[in-house]
Structure 1
Amino acid sequence: MKKSDFTPHIRLCTPEDLDDIMDLQERICASMPRPDLFVATCREENASYLAEPNVIFGTYDHDRLIAYASLAFPEKASDNLGWDLGWDEDTVRRCAKLDTIVVDSAYRGYGLQRTLISHCLSYAKAPDPDCFVLTTVSPANTYSLRNVQSEGFQILKRMTKYGGRDRYVLGYHTSGHFPEIYQHP
């Protein structure tokens, strides 16, 4: 497919989009060359991302969902990645979690992942200009790692997550400069 063959548009997903979100994620999981590169998000968690203040941004080619990104504001929940970094409660409360980003294989190479990351970062910045956005990426997932780093994320820690999978925890500060005090060696 040529880039000129479609004009993608991005919108906030609604609960009515949940089946399409799950279908796209299932197709992505089935196409992964290695199962440890991507951990699927369960239906309940995806449904929670559709409730404010959390969001899922969907990219559409006409009415077909071709990519999406989820952003959560976990506050003090145990899955807040700030806890993995050993941050204090006040800092953890200011963390957002850029969770799942998937792009239909027919639409890869068009910058959709980076565009969705940018949308999520703008959204996180609106309510809290001093927000930290954290995410995890497999060190072996070179495309996703390159994309998040290109959008300003820095590797903060390497650890085992999600049932024994090797992951980087990466961070982005909405000021555009990650404070040194929060960086890990």
Structure 2
Amino acid sequence: MKPLYPLTFTKADTSLPCQIVLLEESELPQILSFQEYLCSCVQDKDTFVPLSEKEWRFLLSHGFTFAVMPDSHPDRFAYLLGCLYPSDEENLGIDLGLPKEELPFVGHLEIAMADPDFRGYKMHSRMCQLGVERFAQDGKTKYVCSTVSPRNTPSLKALQSAGLECMMEKEKYGGKLRCIMLKKIK
């Protein structure tokens, strides 16, 4: 776990000082445990597709993962965002019709998870913005893509706040309807 910087989130008149950290593969057990907990909390199972351990390993070695750690609970994830430089076969640029030579320049906001105890602090919007900023600074990403269930209004709004637009709706992940989102950054 690599500390990056402090960031304070607010909900109504309540401030929540946090640390933004960059996760490493050694945190995989924590990540999987957090994901399992959140899967048990999701009411509409169609809106969230968890990653397998193998997919998390790929993401951690071919992307970056931010976590929000509240100062009041320094060993607990409040929010997690996994960002990925996708493999060719998983690249959302294919769905969007990008030319093959542009696919290496695509980054994905791959998975976002918010602990229900910390919802309402607009972490999702801010962290999606930080993910896009990091892609924009890497010197190679031209397109940031993501998928979201059209029924998942909070996630859709968070992606839109980061500048992503719905380019199409398509069945993905075994028949689940998804908006395929895109932001051009170069």
TM-score in terms of structure 2 length: 0.86
Alignment-derived partner of residue 88 in structure 1 = 99
Q: Report the identity percentage.
A: 25
- 1:89-126 CA-to-partner distances (Å, cap 9, x unmatched) read 12222110110001100001101111211221111111
Paired with 1:156 and 1:150, the residues of 2 have a C-alpha distance of 15
Aligned residues: 173
Which has more strand, going by share of residues? 2
Matches within 5 A, 1:158-173: 158-173=169-184
Alignment-derived partner of residue 137 in structure 1 = 148
Q: Which runs of 5+ in 2 are unaligned?
A: 1-10
The farther-off stretch of 156-165 and 84-93 is 84-93
* Contact 1:3 1:110 (8 Å CA) reproduced: no
* Contact 1:57 1:69 (8 Å CA) reproduced: yes
* Contact 2:135 2:141 (8 Å CA) reproduced: no
* Contact 1:152 1:172 (8 Å CA) reproduced: yes
SS of structure 2 residue aligned to 1:69: strand
CA-based RMSD of the aligned residues comes to 1.8
For the structure 1 residues 3 and 101, does the alpha-carbon distance in structure 2 shift closer, same or farther, using more than 3 Å as the test? farther
Matches within 5 A, 1:46-65: 46-51=56-61, 53-61=62-70, 62-65=74-77
* Contact 1:24 1:66 (8 Å CA) reproduced: no
The farther-off stretch of 134-143 and 81-90 is 81-90
- 1:122-141 CA-to-partner distances (Å, cap 9, x unmatched) read 11111236610000000010
SS of structure 2 residue aligned to 1:64: coil
Structure 1 moving runs of 4+ over 3 Å: 1-6
Q: Which amino acid aligns with 1:58?
A: A
Alignment-derived partner of residue 183 in structure 1 = none
Choose which of 36, 43, 47 in structure 2 pairs with 1:26.
Answer: 36
For the structure 1 residues 126 and 18, does the alpha-carbon distance in structure 2 shift closer, same or farther, using more than 3 Å as the test? same
Choose which of 35, 40, 44 in structure 1 pairs with 2:45.
Answer: 35
* Contact 2:107 2:141 (8 Å CA) reproduced: no
SS of structure 1 residue aligned to 2:36: helix
Q: Which runs of 5+ in 1 are unaligned?
A: 176-185
Choose which of 93, 109, 117 in structure 1 pairs with 2:120.
Answer: 109
Q: Which amino acid aligns with 2:49?
A: V
TM-score in terms of structure 1 length: 0.87
